Amino acid sequence: MSGNGNLVKTIEIKDRQGHVIATEEVVTYAGLLSLAHDQGLKKIETSLVQIPDQTNGQLAVFHAVVETKTGIYKGHGDASPENVSSRIIPHIIRMAETRAKARALRDAVNIGVVAMEELNLEGNGRSGNGNFPKNPQNQHDNRNHDIRSRSRPEGESSESAGNGQLMTDAQRRYLYRLLAERKIEGDDAKAHLLQCTGVVSLEQITKAQASTLIDEMVGATKSAEEVPF
């Protein structure tokens, strides 16, 4: 593999007090890119889906398309002050683009290990869900969704998601877009959302439920990619 001695790295997983509680292997974007070139990378294209501003929680969202000799692979990546380390905050747009490319590249080269750039690292460690919530009560959804630049495309933070407010129009649009990518549209999309949330009307879906659905749909790829963190 040309110039790719750093595909896999081992990082320390720390709790909120900074104590090392485990280690985990991750891949690097540079290593993924090198491996993709070795496997016949033809092109990488990216598009900015959402510009970060105050109305969306400074959340940047990118879409990436990777083409190799084996096919075309796509991925989304997001970055906001809520899911990057403090030193990356000034570079939100670039990080969102890198995360999108990393996700698409992982599919292209068939690597299920999460990319280091997809994680929220502070120092050498990270919290359980890739964020560092200010309120420990908001860590109820520390599942495996950060492995793929998932998320709350309209600036939905873990702190605002659980406050009982209803789903926003932006969340609704994003959910329908995610479902359309899965060929679920129109009445079928509505029925799917109602079934997943257990309500009888879209107007009854809460912000927290919508946020969880978004995380689950963006994170729903082949099980081989599922690793705990």
- Residue pair 127/16 in contact (Cβ under 8 Å)? The answer is yes
Report pTM: 0.52
Between residues 87 and 228, the one the model is more confident about: 87
Assess if residue 100 is contained within a domain: yes
Estimate the crossing angle of helix 169-181 against helix 207-218, to 10 degrees.
30
pLDDT tier, 136 (very low <50, low <70, confident <90, very high otherwise): very low
Q: What is the pLDDT of residue 163?
A: 52
Per-residue model confidence (pLDDT) at position 164: 66
In a domain, 148, yes or no: yes
CA trace torsion 170, 146, 116, 75 (10° rounding):
-50
| Length of the chain in terms of residues written | 229
Q: Is residue 2 part of a domain?
A: no
- The yes-or-no verdict on residue 43 having pLDDT over 60 is yes
Contacts of 24 (CB under 8 A, 6+ apart): 10, 11, 13, 227, 229
Q: Which residue has the higher pLDDT, 179 or 228?
A: 179
Q: Write the pLDDT tens digit of every residue in 6-33.
A: 788 887 777 667 777 777 888 999 999 9
> What tokens appear for 192 in the block?
């799917």
Sign of CA dihedral 38, 43, 49, 54: positive
State the total domains in the chain: 1
Give the model confidence (pLDDT) of 158-174 as tens digits.
Answer: 444 445 688 888 888 88
Residue 106 belongs to a domain: yes
User: Which structural domain, as residue segments, surrounds residue 170?
Assistant: 8-225
Residue 1 lies in a domain: no
| Residue 44 belongs to a domain | yes
170-227 pLDDT, tens digit each: 888 888 888 887 778 888 888 888 888 888 889 999 988 888 888 777 765 333 343 3
Task: Please indicate, yes or no, if residue 102 is contained in any of the structural domains.
Answer: yes
**CB under 8 Å to 226, separation ≥6 — which residues?**
112, 144, 147
Predicted confidence at residue 122, as pLDDT, reads 56
